[in-house]
Chain A
Amino acid sequence: MSELTIPRGKHVGARVNRVEDPALLAGEAKFVCDLTLPRMLHAAFVRSPYAHARITSIDTSDALAMPGIEAVLTGSDITAYPLSDLVALEGLQKTPQPVVATDRVRFVGEAVAVVVARDPYVAEDAAARVEVDYEELPAMTSVEAAMGDDAPLLFDDLGSNVVFQTTRTFGDPDVAFASADRTYRRRMRGNRFVAAPMETRGVLADFERASGKLTVWSSNQMPDLLRVTLSAVLQFPAQKLRAVAPHVGGGFGQKMTTHPEEVVVAYLALQLGRPVRWIEDRRENLLAAAHAKEQVIELEAAVKDDGTILAFRSRCVGDAGGYSFNQASALIEPWYSATLMPGVYKVQNYEFEVLAVLTNKTPIGPYRGVGWTPGHTIREMLLDEIASDLGLDPAEFRQRNMVTAGEFPYKACVGQVYDSGSFIESVDKALEMIGYEEFRAEQESARARGCHLGIGISPYVEPTGFGSEAAQQQAEFPFPSHDNATVTVDPTGKVTVALSVTTQGQGHKTTFAQIAADTLGVELEDIAVVQGDTDTSPFGMGTYASRAAVIAGGSVALAAGEVRQKILDAAGVLLEIAADDLTIESSRVSVKGSPGRGMSLGDVAMAAYWAPTTRQEGKDPFLSATRFYDPKATYGNGCIVAVVEVDVETGHAQVKRLAVVEDCGTVLNPMIVEGQVRGAIAQGIGGALYESIVYSETGQPLTTTYLDYLLPTSTEVPSIEVGHLESPSPLTVGGIKGMGESGLIAAQGAVVSAVIDALDPFDPEIEELPLSPDRVLRSIGRISG
């Protein structure tokens, strides 16, 4: 059997209920804020009220004098290296961020001091008493302002607020544009998002002086990277550092990055010799946790009259915020927009310019669908405009330009190799699900009675399974990945699967157990999945970029396959038969075709551990294997179709229907895939109509509660119809492709396109998102000024 094949038993591909749900539903799951330790103290941060200022003095005496206060530290009291990105791309400037500001603040919400108290209420009382004097500096809240000739500099020694600028050319876009029948151009200011995980960030750190062991529990997606980072910036020996991500209530990329607060809380525990916990409140999460996605993008297309797209040209300017500190740097947005701009379309002539610009706003970090969301949205908006101008149906126009089934593997001009897919088929299926023809008829009759319906079609390709090759194909620079899984059958025949990927609610304990169960021939309840603890999990990069299914799925299958062989070998000795003639089903090892002749897996395991007769020269008797897996790049795809209704007098838009076709190769658990798809689509609907972090001209954030940063709720998200296509990857173990980000890559575009379609009789002009009622009325000239 090839190592690329996963045995298909009754688990893989089935709608298996999530094994993690009982604990979540019963409230027994422990998140960081459920963890308490004896003598634990509570930290609260003092944060800058200015977007850009020099700190002239800090007086902590009043705060320190309050009863219940154990410590107040400023930036100069903390010995830790600043945080910097890990990207080795030539020309990218580094902007190290001190974990607590020392002399200068660059965004509202940047920490300037930390208070440690016996309870969190007192900590906040004291934080309000820390007197900080600032000398205000001019704040820049747009990339245009920050790029101005006389713009004040955020980092004086860089000489510019532009931390990265480059141009790349593929094919011959100049010739394509010169020979085109028509050219089109569009500009869009994408909204600034925040990932808004249901659980805010939180850290608990405990230092045992006698053993010298530092344990840091954090709501984090990459505990191994957190451990390595803490070890580096605190100069603390890594062998005595344990990082744990307990139950994590959503991350969506925001919790990939090691945030300054994680370093500070660990430092406090080391200094004070007592456990210290910090639980971020929602206001802090909106102010100081990584924001996401804001870019200004210009896109041009060269098109022939027959509807062939000859070339694209794009300029993606990322609004990085005050620091390009997160581990993937400020390029996390504009670079990824630019490199995936051709998407599912066969466009081999392309030029992009990418800029990343510092502004006095919260730093940008990764968020589901990094970079791809705004690039995808503007491209689909432009394609609608072209189709309309050419008098072509928007679906047909798109499909004419898509990579066809016979063309895989297809090498996109930027370098991605699409291994397989169903680009055109997924559009057909999604349109069928929504009833496209019938919709067009309904749209016309509704319009006649003053009801404005619109439809948006948004086909996508999603880079998944981020291993080294996928990173190289997207990013042009090496970002090697390293992940492992350990599968162990214990002497009683029960199974532990230890993973390097972490879970933030995706159902890993179910899906990866499904793979192990089918490979080993056991039931789900015989398996425990362990992850998120650097003491018990093998090393790895954690969970991001729709990689876990491919990477952990592959490494679990490989490790479980190896253990299966060890079991069969041991059973072969015990049953005096060749191992190849044995099989395992329902935890029973038996002779193929003679199920009566066999023994229980528990008996085999017991013997394998302790019976001298089963030991074979040169073979490791331990029923355990750890396998590394770094998959080839693989691409998921699909299509989202949204139907909206717009009240053209009030500007209020509502998503009425939404259909999606998801092709993530081999489906491990359709229920979990559908859950991921629906969640991401809800976030995309948020991006289209509701979500936006807004700053005043002086850099004051105006959306600091959920009253103002509007997440879509059950009243804004319609029931979402999910269809499946399966184009297994020829390159990955089991043909698995990743998924999870696609909804947020493509749903914003689908909904925005649908609104534009609904407004078609009014010739809307849209340059900014989200499409609030105000913006809708402006776009059709009902209001101005």
Chain B
Amino acid sequence: MKPSPFEYSAPASLEEALEVLAEAGSGAKVLAGGQSLVPLMNLRLAAPEHLVDLNGVGSLSEIRADDGGLAIGAMARQSTLERSTLVEELVPALAHAASHIGHFQVRNRGTVGGSLAHADPTAELPMILLAAGGRVTVQSKARGARAVEANDLVRGYFTTAIEPDEILTEAWFPRLEGAAGWSFQEVARRHGDFALVAAATVVRLDGDTVADAVIALAGVADRPVRAAAAEELITGEAPSAALAEHAADAVRGELSPTGDVHASSEYRREVAGVLVGRALSEAAQRAQAGS
């Protein structure tokens, strides 16, 4: 468990980082909190030729209200999500979900941008970004900044739309407004383990019925996914336990997850339904309470 040899750069600014990355070519990797990349390197499952360490780029850690939502610098540590009153106020699901990422030691190092760019299909943050309908900003030296919508970010297992010469610099989450409620549910073998299944929902009410709903899941596919059929099924209906059950069944019908050593495909499908049912009920209650 010792990494193979690699070059290491510690740029002091984003411009310098983009420049180093552009020069280093496709064998380079960006190092953020290192909570996934470094173990992969130690196991020699990843062998980047060049590490571009962003920990010296201070400008990437800011969290601020912006554009009717919450902008989070890529190098903001996951633990700051749990403690920030701004996050709690604007995107409470994010604050809540963050407490499920690893253990506090991991969250003190792990970053928001690192998790989004790593794109583990069981990870909390990409799923929350998808559920919230957020986006990320990526930048390269050659082409400048561009926005990538949550829907387009993750392309498969640990694969994203981010090009080798690009750095994810910021994530943006829209503010949860009006008669809307959220819920986050997760089952893991132990607290802090990768989710077997996680679900995040947003339910917006119009009077007594669901105006629109988002159901996002992690751990059930090669990327975080939305359960479109179930979303459609509940839209326009009045929230109830029976409706949540209905949606749960619809979710089960939509998924064909892959099993692993911790849980089978059947388990993930079944429990995705359970968590969606719970998450819809809780989100609807929150929406009712908030309206």
Q: Which residues of A pack against B, CB within 8 Å?
A: 120-121, 124-125, 128, 281-283, 649-652, 690, 694, 702-703, 705, 707-708, 710, 712-713, 715-716, 772-774, 777, 782-785
Contacts and interface: CB of A to CB of B under 8 A. Distances in A.
Contact of A705 (B43, B263, B274): B43
Q: Is the interface of A mostly helix, strand, loop or mixed?
A: loop
Contacts of A707: 193-194
Interface string B173-213: 00000000000000101111110100000000000000000
Contact of A772 (B1, B103, B192, B262): B262
Contacts of A784: 266
Contact of B187 (A652, A694, A703, A783): A652
Contacts of B261: 694, 702-703, 708
A649 B274 contact: yes
A773 B263 contact: yes
Contacts of A650: 187, 271, 274-275
A274 B270 CA distance: 59
Contacts of B190: 690, 710, 712-713, 715-716
A347 B104 CA distance: 51
Given A713-B192, A774-B263, A783-B264, 20 more contacts: A120-B2, A121-B5, A124-B4, A124-B44, A650-B187, A650-B274, A651-B267, A690-B190, A702-B261, A707-B194, A710-B190, A710-B193, A713-B103, A715-B190, A715-B192, A772-B189, A773-B187, A773-B189, A773-B263, A777-B270
Contacts of B191: 713, 715-716
A774 B192 contact: no
A705 B38 CA distance: 14
Chain A CB within 10 Å — which of B1, B3, B261, B275 has the most?
Answer: B261
A705 B261 CA distance: 12
A783 B265 CA distance: 10
Contacts of A652: 187
Q: Is the interface of B mostly helix, strand, loop or mixed?
A: loop
A690 B3 CA distance: 29
A281 B271 contact: no
Nearest to B269: A783
A689 to B, nearest CB: 8
A708 B39 CA distance: 14
Interface in B216-254: none
Question: Considering the complex of A and B, which 8 residue pairs feature the smallest CB-CB distances, nearest first?
Answer: A281-B1, A715-B191, A783-B266, A774-B267, A649-B274, A121-B2, A124-B2, A702-B261
Chain B CB within 10 Å — which of A128, A703, A783, A785 has the most?
Answer: A783
B154 to A, nearest CB: 20
Contacts of A774: 262-264, 267
A652 B263 CA distance: 12
16 contacts: A120-B2, A121-B2, A121-B3, A124-B4, A125-B5, A128-B4, A651-B267, A690-B189, A705-B43, A715-B190, A715-B192, A773-B187, A774-B262, A774-B267, A777-B271, A783-B270
Q: Looking at chain B, what size class is its interface with the partner chain? A: 20 to 34
A707 B267 CA distance: 19
Contacts, number: 74
Contacts of B262: 708, 772, 774
Contacts of B194: 707
A495 to B, nearest CB: 42
A713 B188 CA distance: 13
A22 B46 CA distance: 40
A87 to B, nearest CB: 34
Contacts of B275: 650
Given A283-B1, A710-B190, A785 B266 contact: yes
Contacts of B39: 705
B282 to A, nearest CB: 14
B192 A773 contact: no
B34 to A, nearest CB: 16
A283 B43 contact: yes
Nearest to B4: A125
Interface in B39-74: 39, 43-44
Nearest to B197: A650
Contacts of B43: 283, 705
A698 to B, nearest CB: 14
Interface in B75-130: 103
Contacts of B193: 707, 710
B256 to A, nearest CB: 12
Given A650-B271, A784-B266, A128 B187 contact: no
Contacts of A712: 190
A282 B264 contact: no
Nearest to A284: B1
A785 B264 CA distance: 9
Interface in B252-291: 261-264, 266-267, 270-271, 274-275
Nearest to B274: A649
A128 B44 contact: yes
Contacts of B263: 772-774
Contacts of A703: 261
Nearest to A125: B4
Nearest to A713: B190
Contacts of A702: 261
Nearest to A715: B191
B44 A777 contact: no
A694 B274 CA distance: 27
Contacts of A128: 4, 44
B267 A783 contact: yes
Contacts of B271: 649-651, 773, 777
Contacts of B187: 650, 652, 773
A709 B126 CA distance: 25
A755 B270 CA distance: 20
Contacts of B270: 777, 782-783
A645 to B, nearest CB: 14
Contacts of A783: 264, 266-267, 270
A782 B44 CA distance: 39
Contacts of A716: 190-191
A690 B271 CA distance: 19
Nearest to B190: A716
A282 B2 CA distance: 11
Nearest to A695: B261
Nearest to A782: B270
Contacts of B266: 783-785
A183 B196 CA distance: 40
A702 B259 CA distance: 13
Nearest to B39: A705
Nearest to B271: A650
Nearest to B266: A783
Nearest to A770: B189
Nearest to A281: B1
A687 B263 CA distance: 17
B70 to A, nearest CB: 29
B230 to A, nearest CB: 17
Nearest to B270: A783
B18 to A, nearest CB: 30
A281 B1 CA distance: 6
B212 to A, nearest CB: 27
B150 to A, nearest CB: 26
B198 to A, nearest CB: 12
A444 B187 CA distance: 26
A408 to B, nearest CB: 42
Contacts of A713: 103, 190-192
A221 B250 CA distance: 57
A128 B267 CA distance: 38
Contacts of A782: 270
Interface string B1-13: 1111100000000
A655 to B, nearest CB: 12
A650 B264 CA distance: 13
B253 to A, nearest CB: 15
A716 B196 CA distance: 17
Nearest to A652: B187
A707 B189 CA distance: 10
A128 B263 CA distance: 32
